[in-house]
Amino acid sequence: MSFKTRILSEFSTDLRFLKQWADNPLTTGAIAASGVALSRAMAEEVPSDQSGPVLELGPGTGSVTSALLASGVARSDLSVIEYSVDFSQHLRKTFPGLTVYTGDAYALEEIFKEQPDLKFRAIVSSLPLLTRPLKDRTALVESALEHLRPGAPFIQFSYGPQAPVKARRGIYSASPSKWIIRNVPPARVWTYRSDPKMG
């Protein structure tokens, strides 16, 4: 891809994201897609010494999706849940063969009710948690952990100075990355894991 083509592609993606944000600011949560550095930092938290399914929540235009695939996650192992019909169509066109669910990522039990025993090796989330009440954020993290293999990570980025959901001693931990200052705005990646004793 030439430099000119890449710039035009990035500009088109940002325009699509900005339009979606203007139409639905609380569900989109940001005016631009995650930057390359942030996307890579999230993908790096996915265990590379394992195989099996990975779930992405709120992929938007696919910045993190691209990073996950580039990091070695097989397309056949990656599923995404996107609320926006427009973004869902964009993802299907951009990543042929990707499993795309159009729906509410806060309702994992409903989406996977036909697959109650499905456990992911990682769940990666770009959902705008800080736009939701704390009880909704907490419910999402705890629901995600129930859909993960023991000790597997729930990976969430945040622009806030503190964890979007605080750790619960003896139940799950929350570990932050360093600030990713090359992202605009700067962000951190928070990795949640169930306490092994709870398994």
Q: Check the CA dihedral 180-135-128-143 and report its sign.
A: positive
In order of their start, the domains of the chain are 34-198 (3.40.50.150)
How are beta strands 154-158 and 188-194 bridged, if at all?
Answer: antiparallel
- Residue 195: band (very low, low, confident or very high) from pLDDT cuts 50, 70, 90: confident
pLDDT digits (tens, 9 = 90+) for 95-107: 999 999 999 999 9
**Can you tell me the mean pLDDT for 11-22?**
49
Burial of 160: CB neighbours in 10 Å, binned 0-12, 13-18, 19+: exposed
Q: Check the CA dihedral 180-186-36-56 and report its sign.
A: positive
Q: Is the pTM of this model over 0.85?
A: no
Round the average pLDDT of the chain to a whole number and report it: 87
pLDDT digits (tens, 9 = 90+) for 38-85: 999 999 999 999 999 999 999 999 999 999 999 999 999 999 999 999
